[in-house]
Structure 1
Amino acid sequence: MFDIIYGLEMIGIVAFAISGMIAARSKNMDPVGVFTIGFITALGGGTLRDLMMDNHPLYWIKHQEQPIFILCLAIIFSYWQRLGRIRESRIVVPDAIGLGIFSILGAQLALDLGHSWFIASLLGVMTGTFGGALRDTLCNEVPFIFRKDQIYASISFAGCWIYFLCQWQLASEALSLSIGLLFIVIARLLAVRFDIRLQRDASH
């Protein structure tokens, strides 16, 4: 199971780092800015999770290959001109992937440490959303989690509970993880595609 978890973590790190780097390049940041935004987006949620659960050393400190990989990715993003021309609207797909992976893995770690489903779901949401919130804030944008026209944290929260229920009913942990993760990714993409919101203005 460890290999599956670590593999998912690396995919989530790549996805969130790419979303951060797209945002940074759209703001004409230099390579240092590209790395910083990518690093914060990819590892910010996990850092908050570890700090809140007093889980030391922080995960990325134990696994230095993760920030090293983000640095290499930032260098490629900064100097490969074709990547630099990716439109900011393309951020939605890698962001959705990162949201799904880190929400479920954050919740799973909280369960492993003995927390209740409710607390684990909140920690999952924090893990999945905090990096993106920092990315948007540092890029002078309103974070997805605070936008009235976006369903974001609620999808993460629902996905965590779907994971818990599947884990309760199914014998396969890998299948439970996959169902929760895919729900968040697909629901997030559909919400953006079809402009699904929790609340609309009265004029709508």
Structure 2
Amino acid sequence: MPRLIDHAAREVEVAEAAWRVLSTRGVGALSVRTVAAEAGLATGSLRRAFPTQDALLVFSLELVARRVRDRVRALDASPAPPAPQLAALCELLPLDAARRLEMEVWLHLGSLVAAGGALRDVHESAHQELAAFTAGVLGSLVQAGWARADLDLPLEARRLHALIDGLALHLVRQDAGAPTGWAPDVLTAHLDELRA
């Protein structure tokens, strides 16, 4: 009897193999052949999951966004502010090996979006989702009475979004084993400036 293949799991395995290629060898080494070898698959098997390299890249980028979303949704929102908001923001930062890999992939694939197409659309959609998320975090802090009610929310949301992006870039640029605790401290100090 032929073995049944879990196609959704196979797609994730292939995307994770693409992530490893991107992280260790860079965008220039990314090809159907290198990803298939990394995944331990025949090239034809990979092509059945992803008929084009663009389809693989789009799924790889979507997987990064999905993993971040899933982690944020799994957080306990019941503690008093700003603990849940800070925890959610920290899920966007490469504070451990798994999140560092995601950010490296995000940056590598982000370098390819200038050409347009579906990859650019996914990247832009995730960027807009992050903008809405930072605005929602700040709105929740104001609504809870923790942050000042007179905040210019659109401006502060942009500032928080830029801070997240900058922290993420700094964390990826430092050595993989370097301490990361300074980044949540910076976020905490920033949020404290917004207190009511």
TM-score grouping bracket, smaller chain normalisation: 0.3 to 0.5
Calculate the TM-score normalised by the size of structure 2: 0.36
Q: Which structure has the higher relative contact order (CA within 8 Å, separation 6+)?
A: 1
**Which structure is larger by alpha-carbon Rg, 1 or 2?**
2
Calculate the TM-score normalised by the size of structure 1: 0.35
